[in-house]
Chain A
Amino acid sequence: MLSAPETTFNELRALTDTLAAIGSPYQAVLVVAAVLLGVAAFLPAARRWRGWALGVMTVLLLVGEMALVWFHYRLWQLAAVTDPATGAVVGRVAVPLWVESEKLFVWALAVAVLGSLMSRHRDELLSGTMVVTAVLTAGAALLGRPFTDPVPGFIGQFIGYLQASSMGGVAAQQAFEGMYNSMRFYYNAWYMWVHPPLLFLSYGAFALSFLATLLMIARRHSSYETTAYRWARWGYLPLTLGMLLGFPWAILAWSGESWWWSGKVNMSIMMWLLYTAYLHARLYLRRQGMWKTVAGLSVLSFLILVLTYATTYVVPGAHSYVSNGPPSEFAALVHEAVSGL
């Protein structure tokens, strides 16, 4: 007869296998759809079908999101955390729908949905929106792989917890404490259910603002700046709220950890500061030559947004998916050069 952890492990494996069986062909379809969307963005003959093409991609992404909702619901049913000392279930891990391997997918979905809903300068912005959606979708399918490698951090930790639980003793107690803390301060924290979606919503709006700014630069007309500004203010509100909400949560969850002025926090602050600077500078858009400063700040802000996203995977820290590895050759060379000064 199987123990409870073994039963849960088998059910978990069956669940991830089922998702992979659906998700493997779905991810291939996503890549093909992304390529077609990218091609359609540039083909003059496809001009009249661009709105439809983006709509189809949006529906495709929404179908995938529904599958992920089902997967996360089943995961929540399986992910019971049991105190080995008492045998009582102290909670179930509710993994949010926008962490780990699902981040790029959610960003692609945000751009696709907002792009489908946009109305001002729609025809001119469609091509760019399709390209951004295609790049993010292809990235989600090829790099994130949320269907064939779902939430790998959580799955890895939970399997470790199940293995330790079946052994019992000190190992089981330690694994329980680690899983319980992850559940309490990370996965089930209300903040994790609010902060990332707010940011991805803002990222989607800022992508459209960036595209409108490129149009302004190309066509040198203020109406495109107005469109860029409208999307930027749409993005600025959830960005500000999402970032502010992180502060008390970080103090509570990262107590004793090095998070203040860490890489990701720095980049997030920089992104917010640059968008704030952009919103101030555009008050003087009509002043001689000021549009260049406004355009420069808007483009720079979006580039920093992309870098901020990438920082999670590059710079180690509390808010990061990368650990402190051995020094790279490049970093070692820089260190040597600086030490020699």
Chain B
Amino acid sequence: MSGIEDIRQRAWDFGLTVTTVILLAGLGVQSFLGTVYVWWAQRSIPGWEQSSYAGYVDAMNVIAAPQLIGLVVVMGLCVPKRLFSRRALIAVSAAMVLAGIGAFAVTGSLAGGVTVYLSLAALIQVAVVSLTAAGAKGPSYLTEGRLTKLGSGLLHLGFIVFGVVVSALQRSPFMIPVFWASTVLMVGGSAMSFYANRIAVRRSAPVEHDLDF
């Protein structure tokens, strides 16, 4: 990779990370405002829970859905960027979002549209995790070390699968097994990512270069 390409790559990675942080913070702000609203409504509007809670939940879901999809889109753009050109990646991500919107238009169900999108994202993430486990050079992570990358891939896959559980499987007999799979992926992936140097066969102590800010 040439110097200029490397700089562009780093700027792209940094931009995606900043976008991730903003989306996470955005969902956090929504949660906080939701809490304040619940507190106010419970104390101010008689019978609010019986009359208006369902509408409130629908509104929160509608606001959260694009942010959740945004997070998964960023995830999809981040890791497989060496497998495809950036233009191709953006095109694939846009096509997946359009497929979700199409499903929403056809079924009239927001959960249905989100589920279609997340299912497609899960398929791509499975491919990314498989390539990472096989040691392919294509997937590109912000972290170093194969176990760390594998852990990162698994926890992101778990996040997507958990999204599918919430959006599509709450009344399904498959909910519990799929939920447990997502839990194992998220927690196991996080642990693998955090403590890769301790569980690796060939251990290497992480090098820390201390610096003053």
Q: Interface of A with B (CB < 8 Å)?
A: 216, 220-223, 226, 233, 236-237, 240-241, 244-245, 247-248, 251, 258, 260-263, 266-267, 269-270, 273-274, 276-277, 280-281, 283-284, 286-287, 291, 293, 297, 304, 311, 314-317, 324-328, 331-332, 334-335
Contacts and interface: CB of A to CB of B under 8 A. Distances in A.
The majority secondary structure among interface residues of chain B is helix
B38 A244 contact: no
B6 interface: no
B109 interface: no
Contacts of B142: 283
Contacts of B39: 263, 314-316, 331
Contact of A237 (B21, B175, B187, B211): B187
A70 B44 CA distance: 44
B143 A283 contact: yes
A300 to B, nearest CB: 9
A245 B183 contact: yes
Given A274-B24, A277-B20, A328-B43, 9 more contacts: A220-B212, A222-B213, A226-B208, A241-B183, A244-B179, A262-B38, A273-B27, A277-B28, A283-B17
A315 B40 CA distance: 9
Contacts of B49: 258, 324
Nearest to A278: B21
Given A270-B31, A291-B213, A280 B20 contact: yes
Contact of A221 (B28, B45, B212): B212
Contacts of B208: 222-223, 226
A240 B187 contact: yes
A224 B57 CA distance: 41
Interface string B129-147: 0000000000000110000
Interface string B4-34: 0000000000100100110011011001101
Contact of A286 (B24, B61, B194, B211): B211
B40 A334 contact: yes
A317 B49 CA distance: 9
Nearest to A232: B194
Most buried by B among A222, A251, A258, A267: A258
A335 B191 CA distance: 46
**Closest 3 A/B residue pairs (Cβ):** A335-B44, A270-B31, A331-B43
Interface string B144-164: 000000000000000000100
Contacts of B191: 237
B179 A247 contact: yes
Contacts of B60: 261
A273 B38 CA distance: 20
Given A248-B176, A261-B56, A266-B31, A237 B24 contact: no
A60 B61 CA distance: 47
A267 B31 contact: yes
Contact of B34 (A216, A221, A266, A287): A266
Nearest to B38: A263
Nearest to A238: B187
Contact of B194 (A222, A233, A247): A233
B43 A273 contact: no
A53 B211 CA distance: 33
A277 B23 CA distance: 9
A248 B175 contact: yes
A325 B17 contact: no
Given A221-B212, A262-B38, A266-B35, A244 B17 contact: no
Contacts of B32: 266-267, 270, 304
Contacts of B31: 266-267, 269-270, 273
Contacts of B61: 261
Contacts of B24: 273-274, 276-277, 280
A88 B50 CA distance: 37
Interface in B184-209: 186-187, 190-191, 194, 208
Contacts of A293: 21
A269 B38 contact: no
24 contacts: A221-B211, A222-B208, A237-B190, A240-B187, A245-B183, A247-B179, A248-B179, A258-B57, A263-B35, A267-B31, A269-B31, A270-B31, A270-B32, A273-B28, A274-B28, A280-B21, A280-B24, A286-B211, A304-B32, A311-B35, A316-B39, A316-B43, A324-B49, A326-B43
